[in-house]
C-alpha cells in the first residue's frame, strides 16, 4: 500500500513539474511573439518642404523594408543639428545628409560610413539667384546687396556658396547690405528672393530645377545669375551601430537595396530627382571638410 501510494505521489509530482515546464515554455513563446521588433530608423536633413520630404522618405522606408525584410521608419528632424544629434546618439541608423552634415556626423561617430549617393552628387552645384530686374550679373555685383543663404549647416545652401563668394573676394559678414540671412531651407530661399525680401540668395541646384519644372517659382521675377563649379554633396550615411542592433550583414543589405533602385517608385524619384543611386565613400567628402575648417564652420 505504501509503495503504491509513493508511486502515485511521484507520478503526480512529475506531472506537475511537466505542466509547469510547459507553462513556462508557453510564457516564453508568448514573450517572443510580443517582443517589439527593432525598427531601422532613417532620417533626412529638412532642407525643403516638409510634406514633400515626408512623402519621399516614407517611400524610401517602404522600399528598403521590402528589399531587406527590416522594419523601416522615417523619423523627421526639426533642423539639421537635430538630425546629427540623433545620429550621434544611435537613434538614427541611416541618414540622408548633405556633404557638411555627413562630415559632422562622421566626426562624432568615427566608424560611420557614407555609402551611397546620386550620380549628380559627385558633381553637385549651387545656384545664385536674384530678382530679374536687380541688375546683378556676377558674384562681385552682390556687394552692398541683401542676401540669404539656406540653412547654416547646409553644404549647397551655405558652405560652398560662402566658399565661392570668398574666392570672388566677397566677405558675407562685411560686404552685404546687413548680415546675411539664413532661411532654413532651399525652397524658402527662392521664395524670399521672389518676394523681394532679399535681393539675392544661394541654394541647391536640384531644388531650384525641380521648382522651375513644377512651376513653384516665377522665373519672370527671379533668375539664376551664377552656377558654381562641381563638388561632392548629398549622401546616405549609415551608423556604426547597425550590425550590433540588426545583425551582421545589415549594412550591405541596406546598401544593396539602395543600389538596386531603378526608379520604379515615383515618390522617391520626385524627392531625389534621380532614378538610381551609386556607391560613394568617406574620402569623397575630404574637400567639404577642408572648406568647412578653412571657414571655421567645423574645427
Instruction: State the 10-residue block means of pLDDT for the chain, 299 residues long.
Output: 48 47 49 62 94 97 98 97 97 97 96 97 97 96 97 94 96 96 96 97 96 96 97 97 97 98 95 96 95 88
CATH number of the structural domain spanning residue 155:
3.40.190.10
What's the pLDDT at 22?
A: 52
The rounded distance, in Å, linking the Cα atoms of 101 and 172 is 21
What's the pLDDT at 296?
A: 86
The rounded distance, in Å, linking the Cα atoms of 129 and 147 is 10
Residues 163, 74 share a domain: no
Residues 209, 61 share a domain: no
Domains: count for the chain: 2
Residue 272 within a domain: yes
What's the pLDDT at 177?
A: 96
- Strand (E) or helix (H) holding 224: strand 222-227
Residues 249, 116 share a domain: yes
Domain coverage including residue 111 = 39-122+233-294
Residues 157, 288 share a domain: no
The rounded distance, in Å, linking the Cα atoms of 117 and 47 is 17
What's the pLDDT at 36?
A: 58
Q: Choose the final residue of a domain: 205, 227, 249.
A: 227
Residues 240, 222 share a domain: no
Among candidate residues 285, 218, 162, 210, the one with its CA nearest the CA of residue 48:
210
Residue 171 within a domain: yes
Q: Give the global pTM.
A: 0.80
Residue 20 within a domain: no
Residue 156 within a domain: yes
Amino acid at each position: 500500500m505504501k509503495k503504491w501510494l509513493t508511486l502515485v505521489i511521484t507520478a503526480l509530482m512529475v506531472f506537475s513539474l511537466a505542466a509547469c515546464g510547459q507553462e513556462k515554455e508557453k510564457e516564453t513563446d508568448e514573450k517572443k511573439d510580443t517582443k517589439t521588433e527593432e525598427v531601422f530608423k532613417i532620417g533626412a536633413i529638412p532642407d525643403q518642404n516638409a510634406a514633400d520630404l515626408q512623402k519621399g522618405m516614407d517611400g524610401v522606408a517602404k522600399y528598403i523594408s521590402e528589399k531587406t525584410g527590416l522594419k523601416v521608419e522615417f523619423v523627421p528632424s526639426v533642423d539639421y543639428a537635430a538630425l546629427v544629434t540623433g545620429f550621434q546618439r544611435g537613434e538614427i541608423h541611416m541618414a540622408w545628409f548633405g556633404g557638411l552634415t555627413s562630415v559632422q556626423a562622421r566626426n562624432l561617430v568615427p566608424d560611420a560610413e557614407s555609402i551611397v549617393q546620386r550620380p549628380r552628387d559627385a558633381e553637385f552645384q549651387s545656384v545664385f539667384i536674384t530678382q530679374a530686374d536687380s541688375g546683378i550679373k556676377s558674384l562681385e555685383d552682390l556687394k552692398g546687396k541683401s542676401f540669404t543663404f539656406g540653412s547654416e549647416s547646409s553644404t549647397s545652401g551655405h558652405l560652398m556658396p560662402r566658399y565661392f563668394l570668398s574666392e570672388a573676394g566677397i566677405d558675407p559678414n562685411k560686404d552685404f547690405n546687413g548680415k546675411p540671412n539664413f532661411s532654413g531651407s532651399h525652397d524658402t530661399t527662392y521664395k524670399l528672393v521672389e518676394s523681394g525680401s532679399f535681393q539675392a540668395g544661394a541654394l541647391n541646384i536640384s531644388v531650384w530645377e525641380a521648382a522651375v519644372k513644377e512651376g513653384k517659382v516665377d522665373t519672370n521675377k527671379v533668375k539664376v545669375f551664377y552656377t558654381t563649379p562641381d563638388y561632392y554633396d548629398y549622401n546616405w550615411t549609415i551608423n556604426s551601430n547597425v550590425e550590433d542592433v540588426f545583425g551582421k550583414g545589415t549594412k550591405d543589405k541596406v546598401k544593396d537595396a539602395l543600389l538596386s533602385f531603378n526608379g520604379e517608385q515615383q515618390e522617391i524619384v520626385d524627392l531625389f530627382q534621380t532614378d538610381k543611386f551609386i556607391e560613394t565613400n568617406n574620402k569623397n567628402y575630404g574637400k567639404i571638410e577642408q572648406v568647412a575648417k578653412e571657414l571655421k564652420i567645423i574645427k
